[in-house]
Each structure stands twice: as structure tokens, then as C-alpha cells.
Structure 1
Amino acid sequence: MTSTTWAVLGATGFVGSATVARLQADGQTVVPVSAPRLASGAHTVHHLLEQAHRLESVIDYLAESFAGADVVINAAGLAAPNQTHEESLLGANALLPVLVALAARRTSVRRVVHISSAAVQGHTDLLDETATVRPFSPYSFSKALGESALLKLRRDWAAQPGSPAITVLRATSLQGSGRRTTARLARFASSPLSSVAGNGSAHIPVTSVHALAEFVSRVGRHGEALPPVVLQPWEGATTGSVLRDAGRREPRHLPALLCRLVLDAGFAVSALAGNRWHGVLRRLEVTWFGQRQVRGWAEEHDAVPEPRISEVLRQAHLAAGRG
């Protein structure tokens, strides 16, 4: 697809700003679009779509903003894995994507790429590009609900000419300059607590925001039909390499059985408290054990971005004053 104009929601955010910079470097015209602040109490796709169709003024605003765009990138949302305020999360991560799709349908937009999160698949051993989701926290539930609603719209519109093609792009654990998650990772990796389960060779879906931005550009410019879901490809990181790059030291190697027992106990306590600490425990689980992912659409279509994760984590180490 040769695109002349891209509308990008969330263009000033962490993911959005990197995406805009990449698109402009690729010679694309970019129109930033401000994302409206929304709240929702919907917990099913049916109720979410009902609410979205009632928000005519928001759809009109977005449709006017998308006028003349070929591709819409939704990089907006609430990236707050520890937040428990469900209405804000659902508004930003579930309701907004639906409104974006409805507005795009009223214009000449040909493709909508919604940037979601691999967190929707939760504790699965293997991240993939299926519609299967296993949310484990308010954040991952909000992202999963948004995905499910968009995929329903995609199915409903499949036989209707003129409807935009919708693709969900699942980003993995993103790292980059200025992100608190990356700064925390650098501090952890530099501390005596830095540790992995076993020998540290497990694959881990930790990637750079630069690679995501490049992948978004490649997906949006792809000249053929896209699948419903594409997964950001693995950038070559392992549980050990991430901590070595971010901490410039070798992490402790803990017995895998001990790590599993600690996590199982933690999840049990968290469950008694209404899953209060599931997000933190899940991040620790991935830090220790990693998480594999399929070779998917990116590998099949030669769309794997340049690996930048080692560079980003080493810069984070320096930025933390631990050079």
C-alpha cells in the first residue's frame, strides 16, 4: 500500500511519538489526532458496541480528524498495568478503539491498525496471533475487550464494500528512553536482586519502542490484506541478556523450582486479595522464566524490524547513572 496520509492517535505519547518519527522518516505524511478522554462500565462486547454507537459527537469529531487519511493508527490508550480504576481503563483501551473504527468507516480510510498488548494472552506459555485472550488484570481485560470488539466489527464488515480493514497489532514489553518501566528495569538489573530462573537462556518478549515503530510502519504500508491479529516479532532477547544489558552485570541464577514455588504462593495470596498483585507477579514471572512467541506474520512477510533492544537497555543503564 502506498499511503500519502496517516492519522495517528496518541501521537505525543511514548509509542505514538516513536511511530510518528518513523513514519516521517519513511516519507509518510502524518496528521496527529488528539484522543478524547473516555470512561466506560461495559464488560461485554455487546454493551461496549451499544455504548459506542450512542457517542455520535465523538464519532463525528474523529471522522472529521481522519478526513483524507489512508491509514489510521491508534497508538492512544492507558498503559497502566497496575491501575485498578476500571472505567478509565475501559474507556481508553476498549471504547476508544471501537469509536476509532466507527469513525474510520465514515471516511475514506482504508486501514485501521490498533496497537494492543500481548498482555491480553496472560499466562500462556506461547504468545500467538490467534483471537484467544486470557486477561489476568483490569489492564489486560480492558485491552482484551477492545480487541474482541474490533475483531467483531472486522467480521461484521467483511462483506461490506468501503469498510476499513481492521488489524490488531499486539506489542510486547516495550522499552525506551524516558519510560518509567525501562528505568525500573535498569535499577532492578543493577541491584543485588537481579535474578533469573535457571541459566537465563529463555526467550523473553522484551523489545524496543524503535522496533515497534518500524513494525507499525511496515504493517501499515503492506500492500496486501492483513490478518486480524499480528504480533510484534521477537527481538532476540533472553531473560539473561535483558538483565545483563540493563544492569551491566551477571544476574543471580536461581533454582527454577524455588522461583516457581515463590510465584505460586504469591499468586495464591494475590487471589485472596482480589488479584491485587497479579500484575506485579506476572512481570516477575516473565523476568524469571521468559515467554516464548510464535514465528508469525512478520517472519512470513520479511517484516521483522531491526533489533535495538540491547542498545536501548544499555542506554537506560547509563541514564540511571550506573555507568
Structure 2
Amino acid sequence: MTQDSKKHRWLVLGASGFVGSAIVAELRQRGALVTTLAAPRLSSSATTAAALAAEARALSEDLRPALEQADIVINAAGLATPGDGESPALTGANALLPAFLALAAHSAGVHRFVHLSSASVQGHRRVIDESSNCAPFSAYSRSKALGEQALSLVRAETSPTSLVTIRATSVQGSSRPTTRSLVKVAGSPIASVAAPGTAPTPVSSIDALAWFVVETGQFAGEVPGLVLQPWEGLSVSDVLTAAGGHAPRRLPQWLCRFVLATGYVTSKLLGERFHGPIRRVELMWFGQEQTPGWAESAGLVPPSAAAKLLENARLSH
């Protein structure tokens, strides 16, 4: 059960980024009253959720006036740097910032605060879900997981303010460099999947994510503290066929696992420098299943747009 977007005042942080700009476009298409705000640049050396929450409490009052005119605040800000190493800037943007904004939103009387996280926090799990279980495998995913943990502490002390974390999956967009790279790989002789190639994949479309974020933000009832972007129904072969225009090769699973294991060991020796690209190969070969979550139970499953998006990206390449 959702409400009319026009009844709310929306504020989006990170509006100049890939996800934030799509959310703003979705809101404006619906005729909603939306404003944007540049996210403050924060830095932190904290390594625990409790330490981050304490830092956030000390800062939160600084931003309250900017949030007082909003009913719903969307945080799409952060550093999307899967290949980078640990840094105070990465922790500040992906872990401290969401806790800081959530506390400021609560203090300002915001009705709902929605934070964009990443399904990468669950790492190599065969099935991703809406549990708090995390198994991050890189500096980026660790920073996002730490942000989720800090927000969980904040949510426990800010009720009844509605604080929601959405785990975005492998989001694609025609303007995104990772999507252009996917199209190149899918159209090349190295396009391949682990046999039999029917594994589900969390590859999704930016349009579906933007729609889901808005619907979640304006949902009239209670929303869980952690929700997963719904699956768009594609298999690993579906993705490469749409992006490359032909069916991919099928490789023996044992060979794929050997290559991945060797790649991760090598990358770890080099400071996890190649964890991001190797993870993308792993998703291309094996995909990743996801359990139906709150979105399905609430009837908030957008029409699947990922295959068409990839096909259009291929044709315009």
C-alpha cells in the first residue's frame, strides 16, 4: 500500500550520482516535490558500528536545519569504489555518513529515511537475503556492511522514525561504465557461464531500483529496517545473451571455480586490488540467488527491465 508521491516533500542526497540521479528523475516524472542536497564529505577511522554511531551523534545537529522541510529523505550518496583499499574517506562516505544523516533526519522530524546499501555486503553467499548476516570480501563491501551495522544501532534508538536500508543488487544502466564493460565482454569470445548456465543472477536495472526506492519511501505501512531490491528474473545466460546478442559458452564448473580461487588468492596478495573485477567474473559465471523478501510480500515488484536495458546498451554501443 503506497501513497501519492505528490503528497510528500522529498530530499535526495547524492543526486548527481548514478543512483541518485535516477531516483530524482523518477520522482520528477511522478510530479513530486523534490529537492537535492550535496552530501557532506566525512572521514572516519572507526572500525566498529558503536564508534561510528558515537561520531554520528556528535555531528548530527549540524545538518538538522537542512532536513526540517522534508518528509522523506533518500541517501544515495557514497563512494562506489569496489577496487580501492581501506581509507578514512571510504569509511566516512559509506559508514559514517548514513548514520549521521539518519540521526539528523530523526532530529528534524523526517517521516522516513531511506539509505541505499549494497548486496555485496553478503559477499560470496550463494543466496542473498534480508538478514543482518554479512560476509564482506573487499574494502568497499566492508565499508557498506559497517554502515548497515551503524544504522541498525541508530534505528534501535530513534523509533518511531522509520529508517530503512535498501540493499541494491547488481544495478546496470546505459551510462554506467560497468554496463558498457559488460556489453563488451558479452559480445566477445570470452562471454561464458558455468554450465548449465541457468543460475539466477542479481543483475538488475537502474529504472527498477529507482521505482522501488520511491515506492518504499512512500509506503503507507511499516517497512522493515532492511530490505532487498527484488529480483528481475534473469539467469546468467539471459544477461549475456541480452548484452552480447548471442548465447554464451558453457564452461565446466570445476574450471570456473579453479580460476576464481586462483584469482582471489593473487588479488589478496596484492592488497585486494582485483577483488572487484574478479567478483564481476564470478557473478557472470555463477550468478547469485536471492530469496523473496519484503518487496514480494508487499506487492512492490517492478516490471523487469534489465534484459531490455542490456539489449539497448548493446545496440547503442
In 1, Cα distance between the equivalents of 2:112 and 2:28? 18
2:142 corresponds to: 141
Corresponding letter in the other structure for 1:243: L
In 2, Cα distance between the equivalents of 1:110 and 1:220? 9
1:125 corresponds to: 126
Match of 1:23 among 17, 21, 27: 27
1:102 corresponds to: 103
Deviation at 1:100, TM superposition (A): 0.5
Say if 2:112 and 2:161, in contact at 8 Å, map to a contact too: yes
1:197 corresponds to: 194
Which portions of structure 1, spanning 4 or more consecutive aligned residues, are displaced by more than 6 angstroms? none
1:214 corresponds to: 211
In 2, Cα distance between the equivalents of 1:68 and 1:265? 52
In 2, Cα distance between the equivalents of 1:47 and 1:151? 13
Deviates more, 1:227-236 or 1:63-72: 63-72
Q: TM-score, normalised by structure 2?
A: 0.95
Match of 2:15 among 2, 7, 11: 11
Q: Secondary structure of the residue that 2:11 maps to in structure 1?
A: strand
2:158 corresponds to: 157
Corresponding letter in the other structure for 1:220: G
Deviation at 1:154, TM superposition (A): 0.8
1:46 corresponds to: 50
Deviates more, 1:1-10 or 1:126-135: 1-10
In 1, Cα distance between the equivalents of 2:89 and 2:185? 29
In 2, Cα distance between the equivalents of 1:314 and 1:250? 13
Corresponding letter in the other structure for 2:106: R
Check if 1:307 corresponds to 2:308: no
Say if 1:4 and 1:70, in contact at 8 Å, map to a contact too: yes
Deviation at 1:286, TM superposition (A): 1.1
Identity of aligned residues (%): 48
In 2, Cα distance between the equivalents of 1:15 and 1:65? 21
* Cα distance per residue 1:98-153 (max 9 Å; x no partner): 11111101212011110100000001111100111111100001100011100111
Say if 1:73 and 1:112, in contact at 8 Å, map to a contact too: yes
Deviation at 1:85, TM superposition (A): 4.6
Check if 1:273 corresponds to 2:270: yes
In 1, Cα distance between the equivalents of 2:118 and 2:128? 11
In 2, Cα distance between the equivalents of 1:280 and 1:12? 25
Check if 1:285 corresponds to 2:286: no
Count residues in correspondence.
313
Corresponding letter in the other structure for 2:298: H
In 1, Cα distance between the equivalents of 2:269 and 2:84? 18
Say if 1:7 and 1:72, in contact at 8 Å, map to a contact too: yes
Deviation at 1:49, TM superposition (A): 1.8
In 1, Cα distance between the equivalents of 2:95 and 2:263? 29
Deviation at 1:251, TM superposition (A): 1.1
Deviation at 1:55, TM superposition (A): 2.7
Q: Secondary structure of the residue that 1:31 maps to in structure 2?
A: strand
Deviation at 1:217, TM superposition (A): 1.1
Deviates more, 1:230-239 or 1:1-10: 1-10
* Cα distance per residue 1:206-262 (max 9 Å; x no partner): 000000000011101111110011100100111011111111122111111111111
* Cα distance per residue 1:273-305 (max 9 Å; x no partner): 343322222221111001000011111111001
Say if 2:85 and 2:272, in contact at 8 Å, map to a contact too: no
Deviates more, 1:87-96 or 1:137-146: 87-96
Corresponding letter in the other structure for 1:109: V
Check if 1:32 corresponds to 2:59: no
In 2, Cα distance between the equivalents of 1:225 and 1:12? 29
Unaligned stretches of 5+ residues in structure 1? none
Deviation at 1:27, TM superposition (A): 3.1
